Amino acid sequence: MSLISVSSTMLYTAFVLYIIATAFFGATIKAKKNSVSAKIGITLTIIGFAAQLVYFITRWIASGHIPVSNMFEFVTFFGMALVFAFIILYFIYKLTVLGLFALPVAIIVIAYASMFPREIAPLVPSLQSHWLYIHVTTVALGEGILSISFVAGLIYLIRQIDQSVRSKRTTWLEITLFTLFVFIGFSVISVIFNISGYNAEFKYVENEQEVTVAYHMPPLIGPNNGEEITKNAMTPWVELPQWMRGKDAPRKANTIVWSLFTGAIIYLLTRLILRKRVGAALQPLMRKVSPDMLDEISYRSVAIGFPVFTLGGLIFAAIWAQIAWNRFWGWDPKEVWALITWLFYAAFLHLRLSRGWHGEKSAWLSLGGFAIIMFNLVGVNLILAGMHSYAS
């Protein structure tokens, strides 16, 4: 097998192992703390992480450069960083329910990576620097650690919010859970159409250049003033607005619509089976979990992840920008949202340490921080265009 084949196989193996490990962590909810299921779950997680590490190394050897130079590689590395952070925190706190939520988030992130082209290509001149290794890996590691704060905060809110009455708190919590179902829907619909081998191509003009976009799902949303290349392809229902200018924006917007549709179906079916809100169904399973421990994990994840992200997202990024573009700051969309992320988590720490925002307030902040991180991964690449667009 070629290194590329080995790399792809190892990533797929890690993906499957994370799914199986999640099931074993789920089996620990009503079991003893040190149950056999927990040991199997963490063992499978470590094996999956090792498989993903093999993916990373073999792809590095095959490409000749560290595999974080495009969105597929960066997002998969981000998922690996999230799993690494979970493993470390698991051995510190021995909290098995953390795996029941952290691993699905990692699975969703890795599935999202498949939305981007996987081909290995030579580095563009802007990326031919050792700062690629330092800046990008540090950013991904920092965001991976910060994501564990979201996981702990979500579990805290599911456990603590009164589900017996409808309120703004239950509504926002359910919206958060629905969003996770949308990402699950993306994974499901991607697998379905990948197996079917669906492909349709359109061409359109962007920035006075003719662009070709390949759809791997039926085109509900077509390019603005696009022209069908593939014969007998489905006619798009609507055209993409002109202000959506990210690379491959028509295809990505179409994927998001399909994900919303599929996620909504899965969510509604789940509600029909449970006959209650998802948060209300999960709450009784969280009774044995210590809210104080969840609050501590959420805080410590930010306390560790924030300085790591500061190094990668601001300091190392500014140094590289000065070397590559002869300026340390340029209001590029990615730079702006990196600053927004940093300011948010700086406010998180300030409010917690100076204003006493513990417990539920802190948990809601952790959800907001993760929403900003995901907008960096999804929204910025779909809607905005800038000097970092080569990473799309």
pLDDT tens digit string along 9-58? 999 999 999 999 999 998 888 766 568 888 999 999 999 999 999 999 99
pLDDT at 349: 94
pLDDT at 120: 80
Q: Which residues pair with 215 in a beta bridge?
A: 200
pLDDT at 43: 95
Question: DSSP E strands: which ranges in 207-303?
Answer: 209-215, 221-222, 227-228, 238-239
Q: Which of 211, 279, 273 is nearest to 247 (CA)?
A: 211
Distance CA(178)–CA(41), nearest Å, equals 26
pLDDT at 129: 76
Q: What share of the chain is helix, strand, coil (3-state, %, to 5)?
A: 70, 5, 25
pLDDT at 32: 61
pTM, to two decimals: 0.87
| pLDDT, the chain, mean | 86
pLDDT at 322: 82
pLDDT at 390: 45
Sheet holding 209-215: strands in order across?
209-215, 200-206, 227-228
Low-confidence ranges of the chain (pLDDT < 50): 390-392
pLDDT at 300: 93
pLDDT at 155: 95
Q: Are strands 209-215 and 200-206 parallel, antiparallel or unpaired?
A: antiparallel
Distance CA(154)–CA(157), nearest Å, equals 5
Geometric angle at alpha carbon 113, from 110 and 114, rounded to 5°: 105
Domain ranges within the chain, ordered by starting residue: 3-163+277-391, 165-276
